[in-house]
Amino acid sequence: MVQPLIQQPPIFPSGWRATAARLIVLFISITVLSTESFAAETTSATTHGPAGDIFAYLGSNMFVFLFLSLSLGYPLGKVTIKGVNLGSTAGTLIVGIGLSLTAFMAFGITYSAPGLVSTIFLLMFMYAIGMKVGPQFFSGIARGGFDFVVIGLIVALSNFLICFFGAKLMQMEPGYAAGIISGSYTITAVMGVAQSAVSGGAVTLPSSINANDVGANLAAGYAISYILSSIFTILVIKYLPVICGIDPVKAGKEAEALFGAGDGDDPLPGTVGTSVLGVSPMVIRAYKVEHQELVGQSVEALFHKYPHAAILKIVRDNQVISASRDLTIQMGDIIGVRGEYAGLIAGGEKLVGNEVEEPRVRDVEIEVADVHVGKSEYAGKSIEEMDEHIGFGLYLKALFRGGQPIPHLPKTILEKGDVIRLAGPAWCVNMAAKKLGGKPLVESSVTETMYLAIALVIGYLFGHFSVTIADIPFALGTSAGCMIAGILFSWWRTKNPAFGGPMSEGARSFVQDIGLNVFIAVLAANVGPKILDSFQGTVVIWIAVIGMLGALVPPILAWIYGFYFRKMNPAILQGAVAGARNHTPSLKAAQEICETDMPAVGYPVPYAVTSALVLILGYLSMVFY
């Protein structure tokens, strides 16, 4: 039997798995970076006083440079001006380039961080992305999300066409197109796949440019378009309904009416606070059976007849009996019934009999569990339909899809790969988990490391496989290979919970975060001096123009399709457009202006589709440029 996540006395301190994962990643970093053969190279220079010595030390100790860039970049990314901030990745890039440029311009020191470090952390990041979007990627394409998939395709493909052919038209050097795609889409990993296309030999560069020059062009295109895109994408998506004369608050209420009513703000799976019961509308009250229509019926049969009032315990002949035995009700039994307070007050005595004081039937331990939806027969059912089958004595606290909380409303459709947070008696949660094919979000860091290592090996080898067509070698690339490995592993573990179930969101988000930002710090170290050459002439203006068009035109096209052709609810459509743009701040802005969480319903499927597609397009933008 698959068991849900039940809180037990911890063998180790709370959060030990996340801590272990961090230590493993940092151990890899220190081991690789401290190896003499990977030491950074510095050009000969005469340092000037203590400042020069500091920058020379950074050049000789890349470990310090990389993690100094992270430690300063994170707080810089959090600085908010009128509700907009850079984010940790852009902050790390700016700090790294600043340090690298200062060392070169003031002291003649050129940094060279080891490429192996960049590769390791980029591939870890790609695996984590694949693990996040895997179940929703296949589920969204397979059924029920046609419009959401089309919206994702519209945004991703139009962004590629604008950025790629815009850079071609302006005769920009290789690297700019992929950098602008990365920045305008605010997906930093595009720079990684583009760079892997160069390092993997899929791109033949002109004799006048080398790999570091391409990296500098990538960074320049990314930096400018990212900043502009981050600001204006939020504004465009937030005010699309207003521009079209739509009341966003009214649209939000219509979406709520369409899906039901509900709210909630629970912590993500795998993070602190998931086991906290919090405020619940459910209570347990004791009644004496005095009405003949209940006599002779089983506990489960009564639940299906009255799904909002579940019998959890029975006192019969002074014996306390758990309802898990599915007994037949007898006259005079005292039963403990769990349901919403108002419902029990209104109908309890009328249906059952007099309410009595019997603490033994109300003494039911309530557990909180995160259960994974892995059984296909429940994918595609609404929450209210699910309640009729597995909701025995349970309260649905939260629903998560692709690592994002979404409104858990009666009409919300469950997807394979969703994580639902249930509160109720242990045996009720166990029964629900078994029916769902669920798997608790509990796995040792050793197991996660094993899966990560296997996926990276498979993805790396698969990415190296090359096919030559018309004398042009085509290879998926190691980074895209590892992302696809993550998608397939996530999908496989979703279908086969015995192989680990869903990856803990805490561990996954850490691997994603540290992987991307260390890669960015390495990039900043290596391209710092070169980036000045990338800003010659009018190139800055064209980066800004193409980047803005690539960021803003695709969401508008998707909005036109969804609103005017498909007549989608504007609040849901806003979320879908934000998901297609892979832009969580825009989702938050949409929720703010609509005064509801409903835009989150449209977010996950386009997000999952474009997360994979944009990386492939970024790779192709280097191969075909």
User: pLDDT value at position 77?
Assistant: 81
Max mean pLDDT range (190-199, 305-314, 334-343, 538-547): 538-547
Supply the Cα-derived Rg of the chain in whole angstroms. 28
Percent of the chain whose predicted confidence (pLDDT) is above 90: 7
At residue 467, the pLDDT reads 62
Across residues 286-312, what is the average pLDDT?
Answer: 79
Q: What is the DSSP letter of 265?
A: -
Global pTM value: 0.58
pLDDT of amino acid 84:
60
Query: How many other C-beta atoms lie within 10 A of the C-beta of residue 622?
Result: 25
Residue ranges of the domains in the chain? 39-113, 116-254+447-623, 282-362
Instruction: Work out the angle between the directed axes of helices 570-580 and 211-243 (0-180°, nearest 10).
Output: 180
Q: What is the pLDDT of residues 101-130, one digit of tens each?
A: 888 888 888 888 887 887 888 788 778 877
- β partners of residue 282: 340
Query: Would you state the pLDDT for residue 306?
Result: 76
The number of C-alpha atoms within 13 Å of 618 and in the hemisphere containing its C-beta is 32
State which of 231-240, 554-563, 593-602 shows the largest mean pLDDT: 554-563
Q: How many CB atoms lie within 10 A of CB 226?
A: 26
pLDDT 10s digits, 446-494: 457 788 888 888 888 877 776 655 454 555 567 667 877 887 887 776 6
User: Spelled out in words, what is the top-level CATH class assigned to the domain 282-362?
Assistant: alpha beta
Q: What is the mean predicted confidence (pLDDT) over 292-306?
A: 79
CB contact set of 182 (below 8 Å; sequence gap of 6+): 188, 189, 190, 191, 194, 218, 221, 222, 225, 226, 618
Mean pLDDT of the chain: 76
Q: What pLDDT does 549 receive?
A: 93
Q: Does residue 276 have a pLDDT over 70?
A: no
